[in-house]
Chain A
Amino acid sequence: MIKLTRIDDRLVHGQVSFTWVPSLDINCLLVANDKIAADEFQKMAFNLAKPPTVKLLIHNINQAAAFLNDPKSSNARILVLVNNVADAFRLAQDVKEITSVNFGGIRMKPGARLISKAVALDENDIAIIRQMLEKGVELELRQVPGDRKQAVESLF
C-alpha cells in the first residue's frame, strides 16, 4: 500500500525519517532511481541513513513499478521517494495506485524558479506537471506532514 509518493532530491534524510515515517507509520521506504540503483556506494550510504524501524529498498524505476504493482507489496506501508519530476511521472504512468504526488524538495538549478521555499521548477518540469494534471494526478506541496497542502499548479 503506497502511503505517499514524494519528490525530494535528498531522498532519505532527516525530514523524511523524522516526520513522514512516524506520521504515516511507514515500514518500507522505496527509493526509485535508475542511477542510485546501479551505484553500490550510494546504496550503502542510504542504508546507513535509514531509520532502524523501516526496510529500505532501492530500485530502478522499472523495478520499482513492478514491485509496487505486485500484490505482495500491498501488505507494506510504503513511502516512495524519487528525486525529480520526470521520474515521478514515469512511475505514476506505470503504477495506477499513484493518484497523488507530494512535492517536498527540488533544489534550484539553472533556468528554474522557486515556487516555494524548498521547491524550484524549470519549464521542462512544468510541462511534465501539466501532463500529470491532465491524467488527474493530485500534485501537492508540503515539506512536512503538518504543513497545509498547497496545489502545485496554483504556485507557478
Chain B
Amino acid sequence: MTSAYLLIMAVVMFGHMEDFLGAALLSRPLVLGPLVGIVLGDPVQGIIIGATLELIFMGNIKVGAAIPPDVITGGVLGTAFAIMSGKGAEIALAIAVPVSIIAEMIISGLFVLRPVLNSRFEKYAESGDYRRIEILHIASGLAKPVLMGLLAFLALQLGDEVMKRFLDSIPAWVQSALTVAGNMLPAAGFALLMNLMFNKKAAAYFFLGFILASYLKLPMIAIGGLGVIIALIITDLNSKKQPADNDDFSDIPDEGTAKTGTLVNKGDLRKVFFRSLALEANFNFESWQNTGFAFSMIPVLKKLYKTKEQMASALKRHLQFFNTTAHGSTLIMGITAAMEEQNSGREDFDSESINAVKSGLMGPLAGVFDSLFWGTLKVIAAGVGISLAINGNSLGPLLFILIFNIPHIALRYNLTFIGYNTGNRFLQDLAKSGIMDKLTTGATILGMMVIGAMPAILMPVKTPIMIGAQGSQVALQGILDQLAPGILPLGLTFLTFWFVRKNIKTTWILLGILALGFLGSILHIFV
C-alpha cells in the first residue's frame, strides 16, 4: 500500500504546485479526483467523487486575503479514503470538509511565517544578487507542496487502519443521511456564486437557465452555448450607447510607455510570461505577491541593468507590496518592462513613477480580472465539467481544464506583449470604448444562465412523501415533476442565498444544510 500512498502524496504535491502553475485550476477536486482514481485503479469513481467535491467547494475562491479551506489536501484524502474503503462520494465529502478546514489553518500559518524571509530578500536585492532571489522564491514556494504532501502521506500511512475501521462502523442510516446532505450542499456553492452576480437585471437570465435545464432538459453545454449567443446579441444591441459616466480620456498623456526601446525583445517577454506562472509561489501576508513580481521581471532587468547598483535599485523597486489577479498580472508586467526600459535609457526618467503605475493598476485590474476569471470562466468551466463528470464521463475534467485555460493562457500570454507595446494606451482605449462594461454585462448573462441551470441539473434532491388516502396514494415528487420540476433544489438554493445575503458565515451555512439533510433523511422528507 505504501507505494500507492507515495503516489497519492505526489497528487497532493502536484495540487499544491498550483502556485507554480499559474492558478490554472489544475488543483481543483475535478482534476485531482480522477488522478487519485487512476492511482487506486478506479478512475471512474475518482471522476465522480471529484465532480461531487467540485460542486460543493465551487464557491470557494481566493479573493484577496480571504484564504478558503484547502480543498487540495482535503479533497485528495477524502477521495483516497472513500475509494480505498469502497465507499461513495458521500464519505469522501464527510472526510474532505473537516480535513480541508484543518489544512487551511496550516497554510495560513505558512503565509504568516513567510514574511520572516522578507529581510533576506531585501538583503539579496541590496547587493543586486538576483540569482539568490530566484532560488529563495522557488525554495519558499516548494515548502507548501512538500509540507502538505508529507502531512498527507503521514495521514494515509498512520491513519488508514483507523479510518477503515471507522468508515466500516458508520451505520447505514448515517450514510444515507450523508448522501441526502451531499445532494443539498451544492446549494451553498450556487448561493455564493449568485452573491457575486445576482441583481434584478440578471435574475431573468438565472431563471432562463433554470427553465432550459428543468423543463427542456437541455445539457449544460447547450445552455452555455445559448448563453454566449444571448450575451452577444444583448451587448451588440447596446453597442451604440456609450456609458454615461465615462469621462473623455483623450487628453491624457501617455505615461512613459512611448515605445522607443529595442533592448527588451520577444524572448525576454516570453520569459516574463512563463515566470508569471510562479507569481504566487511565495505568497505571504506581509507583502503578498512581491517576490513573485520581482522573480517575473528578472529576465528583463538582467537585459537592462549591467551594474550592481542599477540592478539593486531595480530589484528593491519590485520587492514592494504587490497583489493582483494572477491570471492578468502579465499586463502590468509588460507595462513595467516598457517603463524599466525607458528608465534604463533616460537620465531624466522618474523611477518612482514605475511603482506608482504598478500600484495604481493592481487594484483596478484585480477588479476586472477577478470577475472575468473567477466570476465567469471558472463558473462555466465547472458547470460543463461537473455535469459530464458526475456521470463518470472523463471528458468532464478535460473540458473543465480546456474551457478555463484556453482563454486564460491566450490572454495571459498576449497581455504581456500588449502591456509592453501599447501599455497605457491600451487601457485608455478600453476605457473609451466602453468595452469593459459590455464584457462584464455579457459575462454576467452567461454566468447567470449557467448558474440557473445548475440546481436543476446537479442537485438531485427529491422527496419520497406520498399524499392521498390509503390505497390511492400519489407520489408528491411525481406531481412536482409535472408542475415544476427542480422546484426543491431551486427553493433550497434561494433559501441558502437569502442566508448568504444576511452575511451568515459560510461555515454555519454548510453546517445548517448538513443538519437539514440529516433531519430530512431521518424524517423521510428527502431522499
Q: Which residues of A contact B (CB under 8 A)?
A: 10-19, 22-23, 39-53, 55-56, 105, 107-108, 114, 117-118, 120, 143-146, 148
Query: Which residues of the partner chain B approach A55 to less than 8 Å between Cβ atoms?
Result: 245
Q: A23-B501, A105-B65, A145-B503 are in contact. Are A44 and B427 (CB under 8 A)?
A: yes
Residue of B nearest to A109 (CB): B321
Contacts of B421 in A (CB 8 A): none
A-chain residues with CB within 8 Å of residue B108 when the two chains form the complex: 117
CA distance A44 to B363 in the complex (A): 12
Q: B172 → chain A, closest Cβ, in Å?
A: 36
Kindly list chain B residues whose C-beta atoms are within 8 Å of the C-beta of A144. Answer: 63-64, 66
Q: Is the CB of B367 within 8 A of A13?
A: yes
- Give, as a whole number of angstroms, the nearest-CB distance from A118 to chain B: 4
Q: Is B140 an interface residue (CB 8 A)?
A: no
- CA gap between A129 and B510 in the complex, in Å: 37
Choose among B360, B375, B436 the residue with the greatest number of A CB atoms under 10 Å from its CB.
B360
* Contact partner, A146, options B323, B325, B504, Cβ 8 Å: B504
Question: Is there an interface contact between A12 and B364, defined as CB atoms closer than 8 Å?
Answer: yes
Tell me whether chain B's interface is mostly helix, strand or loop, or mixed. helix
Say whether B366 faces chain A, with CB atoms less than 8 Å apart: yes
Partner of A15, one of B63, B251, B286, B503: B63
Q: How far is the CA of A45 from the CA of B362 in the complex (A)?
A: 9
> Are B287 and A107 interface neighbours, CB within 8 A?
yes
Nearest CB to that of B244 among chain A residues? A55
| A45 cross-chain contacts in B, Cβ below 8 A | 360-361, 364-365, 427
**A108-B430 in contact (CB<8A):** no
Q: Of all chain A residues, which has the CB nearest B245? A: A55
B284 → chain A, closest Cβ, in Å?
A: 10
Q: Which 9 A-B pairs have the closest CB atoms?
A: A49-B364, A14-B370, A49-B367, A10-B363, A15-B64, A13-B363, A45-B364, A118-B65, A13-B366
By DSSP majority rule, is chain A's interface helix, strand, loop, or mixed?
A: mixed
CB distance from A50 to the nearest CB of B (A): 7
| Chain B hits for A105, CB < 8 A | 64-65
Interface string of B485-519 (1 = CB under 8 A from A): 00000000000000001011110000000000000
Q: Closest approach, in angstroms, between the C-beta of A54 and any C-beta of chain B?
A: 10
- Among B193-201, B215-223, B298-306, the one that faces the other chain is B193-201
Give the residue name and chain of the A residue nearest to B501 (CB): A23
Q: A13-B64, A15-B66, A52-B440 are in contact. Are A146 and B367 (CB under 8 A)?
A: no
Q: Does B475 contact A (CB under 8 A)?
A: no
* Interface mask (B327-368 → A, CB under 8 Å = 1, otherwise 0): 000000000000000000000000000000100111111111
Q: B112 contacts the other chain (Cβ, under 8 Å)?
A: yes
For A39, A50, A146, the residue with the greatest tally of chain B CB atoms inside 10 Å of its CB is A146
Q: Is the CB of A40 within 8 A of B367?
A: no
Give every chain B residue within 8 A of A23 (Cβ-Cβ). 195, 501, 503
Given the complex of chains A and B, what is the CA–CA distance between A52 and B447 in angstroms? 15
Nearest residue, chain B, Cβ from A50: B367
Q: Are B286 and A18 in contact (CB under 8 A)?
A: no
Separation of A66 and B355 alpha carbons in the complex (Å): 31
Question: Are the CB atoms of B64 and A44 closer together than 8 Å?
Answer: no
Nearest B residue (CB) for A112: B286
A51 touches B427 (CB 8 A): no
User: Which residues of B lie under 8 Å from residue A18 when comparing CB positions?
Assistant: 63, 196, 370-371, 375
Q: Is B523 located at the chain interface by the 8 A CB criterion?
A: no
Q: Contact: B364 with A14, CB < 8 Å?
A: no
A117-B430 in contact given A10-B366, A49-B363, A52-B440 (Cβ < 8 Å): no
- Known A22-B198, A48-B364, A52-B437; contact A108-B287, beta-carbon cutoff 8 A: yes
Q: Which residues of A are found within 8 Å of B357, using beta-carbon distances?
A: 41
User: Is the beta-carbon distance between B245 and A107 smaller than 8 angstroms?
Assistant: no
- CB-defined contacts of A15 to chain B, threshold 8 Å: 63-64, 66
Chain A residues near B375: list those with CB within 8 A. 18
Q: How many whole Å from A26's CB to the nearest CB in chain B?
A: 11
A14 touches B64 (CB 8 A): yes
Whether A108 contacts B286 in the complex (CB less than 8 A), given A42-B360, A52-B441, comes out as yes
Contacting residues, chain A, for B252 (C-beta < 8 A): 40-41, 44
Q: Check if B363 sits within 8 Å of A107, measured CB to CB.
A: no
A44 to B432, CA, bound (A): 9
Q: Is the CB of A16 within 8 A of B367?
A: yes
Residues of A close to B323: CB separation below 8 A: 10
Q: What CA separation (Å) do A144 and B441 show in the bound complex?
A: 24
Further 8 A-B residue pairs, CB within 8 A, beyond A41-B252, A49-B366, A118-B64: A18-B63, A42-B360, A45-B364, A45-B427, A52-B437, A107-B287, A108-B287, A143-B64
CB distance from B252 to the nearest CB of A (A): 5
Looking at the complex, which one of B249, B366, B427, B430 makes contact with A14 (CB distance below 8 Å)?
A: B366
B504 to chain A, nearest CB (A): 7
How close is A134's CB to chain B, nearest CB, in angstroms?
A: 29
A-B contact pairs, 30 of them (CB 8 A): A12-B363, A12-B364, A13-B370, A14-B63, A14-B367, A14-B371, A16-B367, A18-B196, A18-B375, A23-B195, A23-B501, A41-B357, A43-B247, A44-B249, A44-B427, A44-B428, A44-B431, A45-B360, A45-B364, A45-B365, A48-B430, A49-B364, A49-B365, A51-B367, A52-B444, A53-B201, A105-B65, A107-B321, A118-B65, A143-B66
Bound Cα distance A48, B501 (Å) = 26
CB distance from A139 to the nearest CB of B (A): 19
Chain A residue with the shortest CB-CB distance to B428? A44
Give the chain B neighbours of A41 by CB distance below 8 A: 252, 255, 357, 360, 424
Given A41-B424, A117-B65, A47 and B246 contact (CB-CB distance below 8 Å) = yes
Decide if B249 touches A40 in the complex (CB within 8 Å). Answer: yes
Within 8 A of A (CB), among B26-66: 63-66
